Amino acid sequence: MYLIDDNPFTLDLVYELISKKTSINLSNLSREKIISCREYLDNKIKSSQSPIYGINTGFGSLCDIKISSNNLKELQENLVRSHACGTGEIVPKNVVKLMILLKIKALSHGYSGVQLKTVERLIDFYNLDATPVVYSKGSLGASGDLAPLAHIALSIIGEGEIMYRDQKILTSDFLKQKNMAPISLQSKEGLALLNGTQFMSAYAIHCLLKSFKLSYLSDLIASLSLDAFDCRLEPFNSLIHELRPHNGQLLTAKRISKFLSDSALSSREKKHVQDPYSFRCIPQVHGATKDTLNFVRETVMTEINSVTDNPNIFYQKDLILSGGNFHGQPLAYALDFLKISMSELGSISERRIFKLISGERNLPCFLTDKPGLNSGLMIPQYTAASIVSASKQLSTPASVDSIVSSNGQEDHVSMGANAAIQANEIVENTEQVLAIELLNASQALWYRKEKTSVYLENILSSYRELVPKVSDDRILHYDIQLSVDFLRNFDVNSDIFS
């Protein structure tokens, strides 16, 4: 059981919580803050007739319309229903669970005015592994992730649908199964649940966890390719990188030098003087991705430990302030940077694939014993090239776009939600390209008399149990999918996330 309190979430903590399926609850401190804030708000509504945005007024461009105190509950539930208009694909269950976790964390700070039982219901969903059905399209990433978060809020009031034990069922039926009653939303609660950046943030966390792992795997697979293409190791000498000490560059060179430290292939005499950039400049390219991911992590960690709904209730100062913490611009930029950096990992990987099948350096053309009769690994490079080009197209920044909404009241938006969906697709694309490089590097190394390092040989041995040598043409779709599965199941040290 993990108790949510004032201690900030870190990437490795979130990874541990979700990977171990740890149950969560609120600390006593968080409970006290939530209760105190709600009591203050109730008293404020009773004692004041002044309009307070989203509490006793309409929303968006309807903010100047005062709402009777008798209609405040209806106001909040109408808000949830009217905003639950997402379309597109259903968001993956693990991302929705992250959304719930991050929303609980944001509400736990005690600036949102929600009821304690509302937060506890989110905790119930999280601990029961029950995730509301959320759709991928509909958020502008500015007034918070309104549409996606509305679908989560629907489940709190007993409406919409929920995924439970791999079944999509009505939330009302789920609540009956669990002997739970729908929550009756009070003033401000619908707005607190809908305003926020948890859709963008959850995708950012999901992408970051996968990206750090793929960054590590890209170094590992590149090391196999370096030996497969009979490359020189001088470009990885630490003396070079100390002259240009970007952290990611230093780490990449150090990691690859370690991977290949006892490789017979690396240590043998080379006939060529230099290698192509896709091999020689691995520290510079992979390293730049590492540095970018660290920037993205810093931005995302600030975001998930923040309060991002509106208005904010400062009960200790007797203030209710309306602002714009729901605007997703920081996340939009970060996700666009992630898109570009992960796209480049795929791009340089595809170039190494191209060289491995080129028939150079005593490797057979297309890595087959019978070129002509067999096409060998000719076409997986086509697939990689197609994927890389798709990632380049998706890498166009979403954050430079905006569109007017809510009758001009919400006249500049971040498009961070679009960046989040694109980032997720690019990360999956990069995983597929790296899987194809692994297929090619393994195949090429069959043609080398010497061995690579002991560590890499052990990995190759496990991989080749799934994907043996391609001696005669076969359906390579299955080999690629098995390669992707191998990468997904590859156990990496969680330290790479910290």
Annotated active-site residue 53? The verdict is yes
319 backbone dihedrals φ, ψ, rounded to 5°: -135, 140
Q: Say if strands 2-4 and 87-90 run parallel, antiparallel, or are unpaired.
A: unpaired
DSSP letter, residue 306: S
Q: Give the Cβ contact number of residue 295 at 10 Å.
A: 14
DSSP 451-467: ---HHHHHHHHHHHHHS
Q: Which of 129, 133, 132, 126 is nearest to 89 (CA)?
A: 133
> What's the token pair of residue 43?
């008293």
**Burial bucket for residue 369 (CB in 10 Å: 0-12, 13-18, 19+):** middle
Alpha-carbon distance of 165 to 366, in angstroms, equals 45
Alpha carbon 284 to its chain centroid, in Å, reads 24
Residue type, 319: L
Burial class (CB in 10 A: 0-12, 13-18, 19+), 169: middle
Burial degree of 490 (CB within 10 A; 0-12, 13-18, 19+): middle
Which backbone phi and psi does 356 adopt, to 5 degrees?
A: -65, -30
Q: Write b or e for each residue in 446-482: b if 16 or more Cβ atoms lie within 10 A of its Cβ, otherwise e.
A: bebeeebbebbeebbeebeeebeebeeeeebeebbee
Q: Which of 53, 135, 447, 455 is catalytic?
A: 53
Count Cα neighbours of 148 within 13 Å in the Cβ-side half-sphere.
38
CB atoms within 10 A of CB 496: 16
Report CA Rg, the chain: 26
Q: Considering Cα of 42, then 43, then 48, then 52, what sign does the dihedral take? A: negative
Based on the number of CB atoms within 10 Å of its own CB, is 372 exposed (0-12), middle (13-18) or buried (19 or more)?
exposed
Cα 264 to Cα 37: distance, rounded to the nearest angstrom? 66
Q: What are the catalytic residues? A: 53
